[in-house]
Amino acid sequence: MSVEKIFNNTEIAFQLKNDSELERAYFLFKMISHQPLVRIGTAATNFALKANLPVEGLIRSTVFDHFCGGVNEDDCLPVIEKMHSKGVSSVLDYSVEGKESEEQFDNALNKTLEIINFAEQKVAMPIAVFKPTGFGRIYLYEKKGLRLDFTNDEELEWNRVVGRYDEACKLAKEKDVLILIDAEESWMQDAADAIVDDMMKKYNTEKPIVFNTLQTYRWDRLDYLKHIQKRAKNEGFKLGMKIVRGAYMEKERERADEKGYPSPICRNKQATDENFNNVLTYILDNLSDISLFIGTHNEESSYLAMEIMLKKNISINDNRVWFGQLYGMSDHISFNLATAGYNVAKYVPFGPVKDVMPYLIRRAEENTSVAGQTSRELNLIKQERKRRKI
Ligand SMILES: Cc1cc2nc3c(=O)[nH]c(=O)nc-3n(C[C@H](O)[C@H](O)[C@H](O)COP(=O)(O)OP(=O)(O)OC[C@H]3O[C@@H](n4cnc5c(N)ncnc54)[C@H](O)[C@@H]3O)c2cc1C
């Protein structure tokens, strides 16, 4: 018994793209497949933005429009509606990063609350998301993770960070909107995990509402999962887990080297892949305890999830299993899965152009440094251009 290989259908994959959007995607992926070009482009863009040169228009009409839904929630509505008409849900992602003031953290919380309220009224948006460093300083997470003493001011600041998580998760529960909490650098993650674990205990009493994220490029994540599963069983709450491979590999390795501690990252890509598939399999084996959001652009892992679901008689639209991709990437996975009846949601990032640059740069770098992804996107786009006789 095996699943049909559905991801090669480019007509379904690109059904929402008109010819000129397809051409833009072709041009873009061709450009970012060249590593030196991305490096130069990134440096030039950062410089131009800092120097207030008028490059926003150029960024908007190229990378931004491809990878983001818009500058604000309302801009994203047409994208949300269009995708939903093809069975794909949206996770609005306020992708402003690198902010460090209390005002900006409150602003990120308010955005998250707005999105949860917005999501409640829209079947197309059953899930919300936020980033730990959107709600507090990385320095504080790190200090907490190292169990160092806070000053009085830091203690108060930390309580405000925890309060922001609580407000967001509480509203998510009230509105019955799932809330995913992203994972970031390992040196801040222990403290974030501790808060999320407590949020799951508080709000996942009847069903999983709050989801933590496991980055499987870290070799210790299955152990963490088993540990929190034990706690959840003992204390009577449910788990929600988003699984991803992880987006900060270069930074992680550099820091471990620089500071002389063992790298938390798997030794190679194959080890990360095996770890991802093991965690995926473990959760699907324990679905009564743990709900799953599979955040990946990897076809093999997606097929593996489908195979396991088939073998274990898990219905393809079981509400405990979601597949997720990022807007602007891997439409061949998203739309073919949705057409086949699986639960699929795409992260739709939005925010002012300048502020979403770190997100955009990560996407560009990811598409160059990861052998295979860009050429796969490019080949599919080429295949579709040929089919459309462009
Ligand atoms: C919906 C969604 C949500 C996401 N949320 C988060 C999040 O909260 N936090 C986060 O960090 N990332 C997040 N990501 C990004 C994700 O971690 C990956 O960067 C991205 O999806 C690429 O991995 P992949 O599974 O699609 O597969 P692939 O393209 O097959 O794998 C690429 C990944 O493999 C790993 N890898 C590559 N080379 C090596 C090597 N030499 N050694 C070890 N490992 C290697 C890296 O993690 C790399 O990103 C999210 C992605 C999606 C789709």
343 C-alpha to ligand 1 centroid (Å):
20
CB neighbour list of residue 155: distance below 8 Å, 6 or more residues apart? none
Q: What is the pLDDT of residue 52?
A: 77
Secondary structure (H, E, C), 325-336: EECCCCHHHHHH
Q: What is the pLDDT of residue 369?
A: 47
Q: DSSP code of 298?
A: -
Q: Is residue 48 left, alpha or beta, with left meaning phi > 0 and alpha meaning psi from -120 to 50?
A: alpha
356 C-alpha to ligand 1 centroid (Å):
19
Q: What is the pLDDT of residue 139?
A: 96
Q: What is the pLDDT of residue 370?
A: 52
In tens digits, the chain (390 residues) has pLDDT values of 689 999 999 999 999 999 999 998 998 888 887 777 677 777 777 777 777 777 788 788 888 999 999 999 999 999 999 999 999 999 999 988 888 899 999 999 999 999 999 887 778 999 999 999 999 999 999 999 999 999 999 999 999 999 999 999 999 999 999 999 999 999 999 999 999 999 999 999 999 999 999 999 999 999 999 999 999 999 999 999 999 999 999 999 999 999 999 999 999 999 999 999 999 999 999 999 999 999 999 999 999 999 999 999 999 999 999 999 999 999 999 999 999 999 999 999 999 988 888 888 878 777 664 555 667 888 899 999 999 998
Q: Which stretch of DSSP H or E encloses residue 322?
A: strand 321-326
The amino acid sitting at 46 is N
The amino acid sitting at 64 is F
Backbone angles phi, psi at 345, to 5 degrees: -135, 140
- pTM here is 0.95
Nearest CA to ligand 1 atom 28: 298
- Of 129, 122, 25, give the one whose Cα is nearest residue 81: 122
Residue ranges around ligand 1 (CB below 6 Å): 182-183, 213, 215, 217, 244-249, 265-266, 268-269, 272, 295-298, 324-326, 347, 366, 370, 373
273 C-alpha to ligand 1 centroid (Å):
10
323 C-alpha to ligand 1 centroid (Å):
14
